A and B are shown apart, each in its own frame.
Chain A
Amino acid sequence: MGLDIRWPIGLMFTLIGALLAVFGLAKGAESVSLGININLVWGAVLLVFGVLMLLGAIKGG
């Protein structure tokens, strides 16, 4: 059907992950839950997931 769904998934999670991670870095005090800068940590996880999806889409053609 012409669309590789990994493109939108990869782009969206890369964008949201980067946004969360930057927010976690910039506003550390507001991003802490139970002693963890959860925005930074989880933003990084989403960023890695998004990039892996994009790499799969690029490789898959």
Chain B
Amino acid sequence: MERRSVLGYGAAALGALGLALFVGWWQVDGPGGPEPDGRRPLPLTAMEFDLTDHQGRPVGPDTLVGSPTLIFFGFTYCPDVCPTTLADISGWLDALGEDAEQLNVVFITVDPERDNVEAMAEYIGYFHPAIRGWTGTEQQIALAVEGFRATYEKVQTDGGDYTMNHTASVFLFDAEGRFVTTIDYHEPRDFAVPKIRRAMNEEKTEGAT
């Protein structure tokens, strides 16, 4: 009798522990986690891709480590979202004044078919001078997009042309290359500059300690 009840308690305790572990996993890493799709961008140090900047120089995630980074995807044949994002970012950089010089600001095209180095150079020339434009092969662009857990898709339009659906969020990384946060497309502009400052300050506190 006593043995059986001890076993019973033991089994119940194990069951409770198992349940607690399961609930913990569910809430932290599992489907109940704070980011339901678990699609948090990798640290820049864990990404691997080789692209070319608008001045023809080879670049990759390593190029960005050492300074806080603001990075986003788009394409130069985009009439609405991309020029708006680039104009918004130009405004944020103006608001940061001289501090903007500490930032890497990169626009990666998701349309390498049309956006070659020359096209990127011409296009970004109309925006804040800190903004750099990166392009490359379709394969390397796909690798980069995957590292950021972003998405893009080519969509045919009725004029026989095509457009690109793509993640329009701006990604922020600290100087160590760790993902900090995103600035979403419809977020009020007032939130953007403090977020950028946060990514920059994480670098400073790291440096101070």
Q: Do A and B come from one complex?
A: no
